Amino acid sequence: MIRPFRLLRDATKPAQADGELFDRRLQSALIESRQRYKDLVDIAGDFAWETDAKGILVFVSPRGALGYAAAELIGRRADGLLADLHDNAALFAAREPLENLQLWLRHADGTSACLRASAVPIYDADGQWHGARGICRDITMARARDAALARADLRERLLGHILRAVRDSIEPDEMLAAAATATAHGLGAAACLILRAPQGCELTPSQFTVAARAGGDVAWQDAPLVRAIAVEGAVAAGPWLVAAARYHRAVHGALVLHSFDNRPWDADAIALAGGVADHLGIAIAQIEDRERLRELSRTDGLTGLMNRRTFYDEVERRWRRARAADAMNGALVYCDLDNFKLVNDNAGHGAGDDALRQVARILTELTRGQDLVSRLGGDEFALWLEGADRAGAESKASAILAAVRAFAHMSGDPARPFAVSLGIALADAKDADLDGFFARADAAMYAAKQAGKGQVAFAERAP
């Protein structure tokens, strides 16, 4: 009778062993799951939290959050961390799942931190709400980085707009005016001025000239120009924003901005102004080169006087204007140096160049601002005496002869002194064309040379 009983007990062992094995495996899986959750929470860059029904933090990731240790946060009201009490306070008392909310919390150091958060409510088996749990990610740095990229993109687009406005303008004045207008609009300035700096002298605000302006009129001399010139980039002082326009580290001008309502400038505006000023420095340098080339094309390289082409064009302009107004006046004076070859032969070409420069100086000093002085080439010069009559032209010619006579010794031959012969033609309505007028002055000059050099001769009236 015992044997069957023993067989019955042996028959139950496999089922009991299977149950114990299942329990052990279930317990191991639960332990492993909790450990996995704990490890993930511990190493996550985000932080997890849980609140009770009163909104008190009862759990925070072991690493803590917002500069606080976990123990410092547990037991505190979660909504007490909000930088703004009206900023998504329902997150920590969620009654339904919430995803990707953005809110600002106070950091332990007093600053504000921007977080992106999700939360789910906690209900028991009876449907009673007991709190909420969720996870937050600190996106302050990412947000600042995105904002910086957006601002940089805006600066690039504004700068591109300004540069296109400059590039599409051909004339220098139009170029700078377009840059001033585009910069004023792009930066929201009440006034924008582009100043040009003097070359080859100490830079002070009073020496700058306004090359272009947009917006209102402002007392730009009060702006901190000297301070701006001393540093790279741009500087701001109250409503003023000033940036030196440089090229190859040399200052060629300055960008001056004044804000609306005397508002201070922010860092983005300062950075953009610095970028604009850098390109303005290049543009102004190019304008200076163009002006220099234009001046070289209009002037004589040795004396700095007008060259033949420029002199003829300017006299022609005045000639046409006088004829149109039926008010022909003025005198054309042809000047030819006497015994100039002796200066070169006896003292060298350096002395000859000096003689030409001395004559140029005399002619310039003895004429007025409205008169024209030109070196036609070689040892020939010409004057246009605006509005001069015969008496005025004769008086001017006598003064020139006397002044040049002081350099008679430069020829090195007392018998053949260095001098000048002058031929004068008075403007006459009877002159059919300008070429004929010039020919009369030239003929008078040769008449003066034939009369013994160092003389003045007047051309006869046009027939």
Which CATH code fits 47-138?
A: 3.30.450.20
Average pLDDT score over residue span 389-412: 93
Residue range(s) occupied by CATH 3.30.450.20 in the chain: 47-138
β-bridge partners, 101: 117
Predicted local distance difference test score (pLDDT) of residue 14: 59
pTM for the predicted model, two decimal places: 0.54
Pick the most confident of 99-103, 222-226, 258-262: 258-262
Half-sphere exposure of 230 (CA within 13 A, CB side): 6
CA 366, 367, 373: angle at the middle one, nearest 5? 115
How far is C-alpha 414 from the geometric centre of its chain's CA atoms?
62
Which residues contact residue 264 at a Cβ distance below 8 angstroms, ignoring those fewer than 6 apart? 236, 238, 239
Residue range(s) occupied by CATH 3.30.70.270 in the chain: 308-458
Predicted local distance difference test score (pLDDT) of residue 2: 45
On whether the CB atoms of residues 64 and 70 are closer than 8 A, the answer is yes
In this prediction, residue 1 has a pLDDT band, given cuts at 50, 70 and 90, of very low
Cα separation, 170 vs 172, in Å, equals: 6
Task: Kindly indicate whether the domain formed by 308-458 is annotated with CATH number 2.60.120.260.
Answer: no
Cα separation, 441 vs 425, in Å, equals: 5
Cα separation, 67 vs 263, in Å, equals: 35
From residue 7, alpha-carbon distances to 3, 4, 18, 37, 254 in Å are 6, 5, 18, 46, 108
**Average of per-residue pLDDT values in the chain:** 84
Predicted local distance difference test score (pLDDT) of residue 154: 74
Predicted local distance difference test score (pLDDT) of residue 120: 92
Sign of the alpha-carbon dihedral angle for 157, 160, 166, 168: negative
Predicted local distance difference test score (pLDDT) of residue 420: 95
Predicted local distance difference test score (pLDDT) of residue 158: 73
Predicted local distance difference test score (pLDDT) of residue 7: 44
Predicted local distance difference test score (pLDDT) of residue 86: 63
On whether the CB atoms of residues 418 and 407 are closer than 8 A, the answer is yes
| Type of residue at 376 | L
Predicted local distance difference test score (pLDDT) of residue 283: 84
Which CATH code fits 145-297?
A: 3.30.450.40
Residue 123: count other Cβ atoms within 10 Å of its Cβ: 12
Which residues contact residue 128 at a Cβ distance below 8 angstroms, ignoring those fewer than 6 apart? none
Predicted local distance difference test score (pLDDT) of residue 409: 92
Average pLDDT score over residue span 226-249: 83
Cα separation, 447 vs 75, in Å, equals: 116
pLDDT tens track for 148-178:
787 778 777 777 777 776 677 667 678 888 8
CA 77, 81, 85: angle at the middle one, nearest 5? 95
The yes-or-no verdict on residue 355 having pLDDT over 70 is yes
Residue range(s) occupied by CATH 3.30.450.40 in the chain: 145-297
Tokens 């580290």 belong to 249
Cα separation, 283 vs 237, in Å, equals: 26
Please give the sequence-ordered ranges of beta strands (E in DSSP) within 108-249, or none if there are none. 112-123, 129-138, 189-196, 209-215, 234-237, 240-247
| Closest residue by Cα to residue 241 from 308, 172, 187 | 187
pLDDT tens track for 410-463:
999 999 999 999 999 998 877 778 888 899 999 999 999 999 899 999 998 766
Cα separation, 358 vs 137, in Å, equals: 83
Tokens 């925070």 belong to 60
